[in-house]
Amino acid sequence: MSHVCVVGTRGVPNFVGGVETICQKLYPLIRKESPSYKITIITRLPYKQQESYQYEKVDIKVIKALKISGFETFFHTFVALCYARIFIHPKIMHLHGIGPGFFSLFSRLLGFKTVVTHHSPDYKRPKWKWYAKLILKIGELFTVLFASRIICVSASVKEELDARFPFLLQKRLVIRNAGSLNNLTAGTEQDALLKELGLEPKQYLLAVGRLDATKGFDNLIDAYLAMHPTQLKLVIVGDNYIANDYVKKITQYKSENIIFAGPHTGANLATIYQNAALLVNPSFMEGYCLVVAEALSANTPIVASDIPAHREFKLNEESYVKKGDVLALTAKLNAEDYSIYRSKSAEFLQSNNTWEANAHEHLILFNSML
């Protein structure tokens, strides 16, 4: 039996975050397609007070991390690798992110064939202090030098990585993430959910993501407040594990019309997408934007910042807005008919980009390494 160990996610299932969503979707499907694979995910946070359990035939082992700002993932990865060597003995180690990728060489020295998924150049995020950014930059370099294979979650991530490190290119490939709402329908109690949130179908603008400065939610709030008089509400779904200055800055606008709905997953999240008048993603940077993928899978009109990761979805030209331009975003929100922001061709392309296809591509890679 081939054994894959996974490190780099906070928790599984139903934890907020891109890596968390990917791990929840991907590995059960790998097990389903190829039952001969055994998969163990080492996480940092317990699920319902459980520290060792199974999720859809995937083994989950919780090893709590030291809560040191900027170093939590760093220390956890080191401990997880040591634990895997002593107790799990996998053939393949799958590290998510360039933070865990810092330990690519260590993983190889422990005898693991090491795959690193590069989600985004995280050192560009303003939340990190200089020393954390330095570790992430070194992590990206060590990933390039020492990982057995590197998965880039979008073509734009690979293009940027290739430009910075134009060597060892043969180790890199693109496996685009999928639309995580595939095979999910809105919850049967969707009316109750919308009522609980104070919402009416098609009467709200939606933004989804971690409450992080790179997401541009402050610009979205400014644009919303500058709109012509409107009955539409603004709903922001997501949270942050730390109530930092940015979170405090944007949540001070919480009101009857600006709703911070907290995290939602599964059928509830599908309900919120499918009943939104418009999905707005004003992000300054993305590796692969799960939010846009989810909105496409829900057939929801989209306005998104004009960045390479969003361009990959081939939305209608009307859907793109210059990043950071509040006036231009306000003009987009003031449109009389949001159907101009619905991209049916992009919806069709995304409908073929399923998690099943994503899992199959990972299996092809894993099989080639054994």
In the prediction, which pLDDT does 180 show?
63
Whole-angstrom distance, CA of residue 127 vs CA of residue 116: 23
CATH class of 190-351: alpha beta
Sheet with 278-281, strands from edge to edge, namely 258-262, 233-237, 204-208, 278-281, 302-305, 320-321
Do the domains spanning 2-178+354-369 and 190-351 agree at the CATH topology level?
yes
In the prediction, which pLDDT does 187 show?
53
Query: Residue 154 above 90 pLDDT?
Result: yes
CA distances from 311 to 206, 314, 363 (A): 20, 5, 27
pLDDT tens sequence across 295-334: 999 999 999 999 999 999 999 999 999 999 999 999 999 9
Contact, 332 vs 322, CB < 8 A?
Answer: no
Query: Residue 67 above 90 pLDDT?
Result: no
> What residue spans define the domains of the chain?
2-178+354-369, 190-351
pLDDT tens sequence across 243-256: 789 999 999 999 99
Among 50-64, 156-170, 234-248, which stretch is predicted with the lowest mean pLDDT? 234-248
Among 52-61, 75-84, 215-224, 242-251, which stretch is predicted with the lowest mean pLDDT? 242-251
Residue carrying the six token digits 């418009």: 278
What pTM, to 2 d.p., does this model score?
A: 0.92
Helix axes 217-225, 326-333, angle to 10 degrees: 60
CATH class of 2-178+354-369: alpha beta
In the prediction, which pLDDT does 120 show?
95
Q: C-alpha 145: how far from its chain's center?
A: 25
